[in-house]
Amino acid sequence: MPMLPAEFDDLEPFAADWCLATEPERYAKRLACSMDEMQALYDAAFPRIEDAIAYCDKFEWDDLPEDARSLFHLMQSLVMVSFPVEVWSQPRVPDSGAAWAELIREPVV
């Protein structure tokens, strides 16, 4: 069963792994992935980000269909991997040592 709207079937191979609803889930996924996995998501999803935003903007947040919500979460995962792919060339923040920050509340959506 597809997780994403039909218009985004090219991104469906990433949906099961990357449509994650919370920031801690997305961050844990980033840390568990190789750079090749993150690069593949980035290369596939980045060119579609404007289309994804336009698609999700057609709905009120409280009425967002499940497939559009999954698309939104996939784009959040794209944002999560963008710095490792574009800047750091590694999943972790460079020179951060044992620093840890824990999100205690999700942003309002």
Rama region for 89: left / alpha / beta (φ>0; ψ in -120 to 50; rest)? left
Q: How many other CB atoms sit within 10 Å of the CB of residue 106?
A: 10
Predicted local confidence at residue 65, as pLDDT? 95
CA–CA distance, 49 with 57 (Å, rounded to integer): 12
Summarize the chain as % helix, strand, coil (round to 5).
Answer: 65, 0, 35
Mean pLDDT for the stretch of residues 79-97: 72
Predicted local confidence at residue 37, as pLDDT? 95
Predicted local confidence at residue 11, as pLDDT? 98
pTM: 0.81
Could you tell me if 109 and 42 are in contact, meaning their C-beta atoms sit under 8 angstroms apart?
no
Please state, for a pLDDT cut of 70, what percent of the chain lies above it: 80
Mean pLDDT (the chain) is 87
